[in-house]
Copies of this chain bind each other. A is one copy, B any other.
Amino acid sequence: MNITRLIDQKLSLRRSLDSGTSKQRADVYNIVEDVRERGDQALFHYTEKFDRVALRELVVQKQEIDEAYQQLDESLVAVIKQAANNIREYHAKQKKESWFYHREDGTMLGQKITPLDAVGVYVPGGTAAYPSSVLMNVIPAQVAGVERIVLVSPPNQDGKLPSGVLIAANELGVKEIYKVGGAQAISALAYGTESIKAVDKIVGPGNIYVALAKRQVFGTVDIDMIAGPSEIVVLADETAMPNEIAADLLSQAEHDKLASSVLVTPSIQLAEAVKAEVEKQLETLPRKEIAKASVEQFGQIYVAEGLEEAINAVNELAPEHLEVMTSSPYEVLPLVKHAGAIFLGRYSSEPVGDYFAGPNHVLPTNGTARFSSPLNLDDFVKKSSIIAYSKEAFTENAAKIASFARLEGLEAHARAIEERLKEDS
């Protein structure tokens, strides 16, 4: 982990977004189209090919869920439930109501807010099974009022889904769970097959094949963001504990060799102490190899001239996760312009937010916090404008509206207005 003076450094987290190789893009294109045409038959085919298991049924049976409970400690089920409650509480605060107002001329204007009908949640398989991903993607959809929630996840070679994933889904009351992953699952959600009815939006993280497939079906259905590798920026002064900062940086680094962990501080002493702690703590990590590669390639410590410069650096980075460990974190908050999630103070360690606190862990990565938000309730509703023009308002403004239409060369628009004046005269 290098220590760099910030002055005259142009900061950037922007690793280039993985848009896949041309072979990957072509493969995904063909898989998506094949599933679109052949439906379930193609799903079984690709599941056998990529997940190495020949399924006869995609839908998860009640028995499989019962078995999952036998494999997980009861206390963990309780933790999942409590996390779900916290997440539900936080997301319920985001709920918006339809609204309207009247103008003096009797016109009513407003916005009708309606949940999406059906949402598909992709849960990645592979080395790590993420029940937290189930909670973070399903709960906002439920709170928003989405009636149909469909979970898809690739089976292992025994044709099973991870117990934690099944339990999380079951605790939330998810009714449709299918054992299918990859680009084939995304195509099924977008276009529908015999077993899986199409949805309106697909959310959830996935590998490059999933990401490419989501990009391909975008427009037919909505998608959430295409997430890049994860990142954390810690903004700390000399009052912070080096061992805690180091542990937080490493918790990010263990995710992915491409993950990025950055400390920005005005204190050279802290910078040096954190560097030493990172090196020490790294040694005993089970995922040492991944964390080490991440730290070496994308780990950075920037020493700023002062707190103000450090905050500017944070805004330039627009990090996914920002921890503020300074003497007065609430005084820093108004100055933070761009960050997915802001963790204030010593006890707001990033994993608190990953699993438990309540805010969503699906966050904008790679500098996109400049223009994107954490997954939230607005992602699962849509708005309809309401226009109820009064006769008074219409009569008063008809000529103006017609003249505006003619300015744009749209005569039929003007006549639609004038047709109503005829009837009134």
Contact = CB atoms under 8 A, between A and B. Distances in A.
Interface in A202-253: 219-222, 226, 241, 243-244, 247-248, 250-251, 253
- The contact size tier of chain A is 35 or more
A337 interface: yes
Given A222-B372, A387-B353, A400-B79, A410 B345 contact: no
B408 A281 contact: no
Interface string A395-414: 00100110111011111111
A344 interface: yes
A330 B387 CA distance: 11
Specify the main secondary structure of chain A where it touches its partner. Answer: mixed
Given A76-B404, A341-B384, A419 B247 contact: yes
B387 A344 contact: yes
A342 B387 contact: yes
Contact of A251 (B385, B388, B409, B412): B412
13 contacts: A83-B400, A111-B376, A131-B407, A132-B408, A219-B226, A222-B371, A222-B372, A250-B412, A255-B410, A281-B415, A349-B420, A353-B385, A353-B387
Interface of A: 17, 72, 75-76, 79-80, 82-83, 90, 93-94, 99, 101, 107-109, 111-112, 114, 116-117, 127-132, 164, 200-201, 219-222, 226, 241, 243-244, 247-248, 250-251, 253-255, 281, 285-287, 291, 329-330, 333, 336-360, 363-364, 368-374, 376, 378, 382-391, 393-394, 397, 400-401, 403-405, 407-417, 419-420, 422-423
